[in-house]
Amino acid sequence: MTEQSPPRWASETFWKKTAIWVTGGSFVLLVILSFDSMKQISAGGPRVPAYSVINKDISYRFDKAKQRYQPTIGEDAPLFGKTLSEEEAEKLIDHGKKTVQAKNCMNCHTLLGNGAYYAPDLTKAWLDQGWGAKESREQMMVNFLLDPEKNARTYGSNRKMPNLDITPPEAEAIVAFLKWMSSIDTNGFPHNFIALGEEEQ
């Protein structure tokens, strides 16, 4: 009686080759998706505006067509009264980002949902109604960063931000970083957030 050989899919060689092809294919797919992700999150793209967006009025409104909240870019509204070039804006925002990192802000706060949950999420901090009015917002944010105890905006949470010895240039850079962050399309996060100036919309 002739001995039948096992089916091809049952052989050790078949599964070794399959593992190699699957691993190789997965690696190629990972590379492609990584490049696509970098494109999606790079400044100047459809979801992450160019740095010079800080020269514009930024708000956050509900889009009925998309059924979610999203940033809106309006008329000219230079930060601290000075219109910056793309290079100048990038340098200022980078300074703010690095200051946020150096001061370990994410030990208490979250950015884009990442970080700690002791203090408020900073993704839309620029748009927070707690700043009172658009006209005074920039200076109020700077004052708060320079002296959190004296310029507290806790409104009864009893959670106080410590004085981090932030310098005036660092404070202005952080404000620029937070304004730019507020322009990022975060797929409706946070939901039901009513931006400063949108209370009666």
Higher pLDDT, residue 200 or 134: 134
Q: How confident is the model at residue 156 (pLDDT cuts 50, 70, 90)?
A: low
For 56, the token pair is 């514009």
User: Cα separation of 194 and 115, whole Å?
Assistant: 22
For 30, the token pair is 């990972």
Inter-CA distances, 83 with 2, 15, 44, 117, 136, Å: 87, 62, 18, 34, 18
What's the pTM value of the predicted model, to 2 decimals? 0.82
pLDDT in tens, 177-201: 999 999 999 998 888 888 988 865 5
Q: What is the pLDDT of residue 15?
A: 85
Going by CATH, does the domain composed of 51-182 fall within 1.10.760?
A: yes
